[in-house]
Amino acid sequence: MDALAEYFKVFSEPNRLSVLDALRAGPLNVTAVVEKTGHSQALVSKHLKLLTIAGVVRRRPEGSLVFYEVIDKSVFKLLARAEKLMLTAKRQQLDALAAIL
């Protein structure tokens, strides 16, 4: 239960999520992620490290560049499922509100 919470924590940060999303189409090196996300280099590097430690992303040095890529693309299915759940949750909230009025 503890480990699961930590795993969810990986995806509970907007900037980290955007870094992960930048890798959706395929591997990118750090600078490319920086440009794609608009975040500072230090920040991107940090989040990529976290994602690597979490086992979500793989680090692959190539010459003087370092490429990162998503290991198991089914993480995006997780994101999609969460998004769907979130939407229905919000709708339920509205329904609950309507039931009161």
Residue type (1 letter), 10: V
Could you please report the per-residue DSSP string of 48-66? Answer: HHHHHHTTSEEEEEETTEE
Site string for DNA, 45-64 (x = CB under 7 A): xxxxxx--------x-x-xx
42 vs 96, which CB is nearer to its own copies?
96
Could you say which of its own copies, DNA, none residue 45 binds, taking C-beta under 5 to 8 angstroms by partner kind?
A: DNA
Q: Is the dihedral of CA 55, 2, 82, 34 positive or negative?
A: negative
Q: Report the relative pairing of strands 57-62 and 65-70 from DSSP bridges.
A: antiparallel
State the residues that interact with its own copies by CB under 8 A.
1-9, 11-14, 16-18, 21, 53-56, 58, 71-72, 74-75, 77-79, 81-83, 85-86, 88-90, 92-93, 96
